[in-house]
Amino acid sequence: MMEPSLNQDDTVVSRYHAVRQMIDAAAIDVGRDPLSVNLLSVSKTFPASDIQTLYHAGVRAFGENRIPELESKAAQLPGDIEWHFIGQLQANKVRRAVRLAACIHSVDSLALLERIDRIAGEENRCPGIFIEINSGEESKSGCHISEAPELVLRAAGMAHVKPLGLMTMSAADATEAEQFRTFEKLAVLQRELAAKGVFLPDLSMGMSGDFKAAIAAGSTWVRIGTAIFGGRS
């Protein structure tokens, strides 16, 4: 097991706590319970030692977007880390994702959903899944919002996935008002599905640059990389 370096420790842990405080403040601002907003530390591109440092400070949920990187980090780190896969998932990497990830935030097609369900059954797993909705032109990932209800309904009927919610990213150049409108669409869909008897507890929305708008719109999982770990080159 690696020893945390003290300088790094201060930076990553203090940034984590600062982010957590900003999340709590954003929740209180809009009359929400801060405990209803989970913080996913997005550790992609950063070394396992940074994760170990945060682990020592009590953090357990980490987000990765590449399978080889997730595998390499998981092999070096404690087994009770809750890994969330947040990247585009190719069909030929589903088994590796299912073996390691507690949650997959990027399910955007029926083919992928069916494959995850089948392989999770074979692997004796039941990952939490989010249906990813494409809210911007620049990103290729995510389904159209009109396709999401069908995917959620199908997931609700599957034995080896646990449908948790909807996920999206706002456009990089969006204003805060535009971010809010993007995120609010998912909250509206979540309520429409609940009215049909399909309850999704979670909304995975908000990153370093837009988590306030996401929390105002109802996010329960903000996925924060840069504000905790620093910039990625």
Binding piece for ligand PLP, criterion CB under 6 A, among 11-19, 77-85, 152-160, 205-213:
205-213
Q: Which of 34, 66, 208, 230 binds ligand PLP (CB under 6 A)?
A: 208
Task: Indicate whether 88 belongs to the interface with ligand PLP (CB under 6 A).
Answer: no
Task: Indicate whether 39 belongs to the interface with ligand PLP (CB under 6 A).
Answer: no
CA distance 51 to 110: 33
CB of 142 to ligand PLP, least distance (A): 10
Question: Which lies closer to ligand PLP via its Cβ, residue 44 or residue 154?
Answer: 44
CB 101 within 8 A of CB 127: yes
CB 22 within 8 A of CB 214: no
Q: Which of 13, 86, 97, 120 binds ligand PLP (CB under 6 A)?
A: 86
Say whether 193 sits in a helix, a strand or coil: helix
CB of 151 to ligand PLP, least distance (A): 18
Q: Which residue has the tokens 């896969």?
A: 85
- Alpha-carbon 222 to chain mean position: 7
Binding piece for ligand PLP, criterion CB under 6 A, among 8-16, 118-126, 143-151, 225-233:
225-233
Distances (CA, A) of 58 to 53, 61, 72, 144: 9, 10, 21, 37
Q: Which of 207, 213, 215, 217 binds ligand PLP (CB under 6 A)?
A: 207
> Nearest-CB residue to ligand PLP?
225
- What Rg do the C-alpha atoms of the chain give, in angstroms? 17
Residue 150, number of CB atoms within 10 A of its CB: 12
What is the residue type of 131?
A: I
Task: Indicate whether 209 belongs to the interface with ligand PLP (CB under 6 A).
Answer: yes
Task: Indicate whether 225 belongs to the interface with ligand PLP (CB under 6 A).
Answer: yes
CB 84 within 8 A of CB 106: no
Build a one-symbol-per-residue string for 171-200: x at contacts with ligand PLP by CB under 6 A, - elsewhere. ------------------------------
Task: Indicate whether 42 belongs to the interface with ligand PLP (CB under 6 A).
Answer: yes
Question: Which lies closer to ligand PLP via its Cβ, residue 104 or residue 158?
Answer: 104
Residues that contact ligand PLP, how many (by CB under 6 A): 12
Q: Which residue has the tokens 């370096």?
A: 5
CA distance 219 to 27: 10
- Residues making contact with ligand PLP (CB under 6 A): 42, 44, 65, 86, 207-209, 223-227
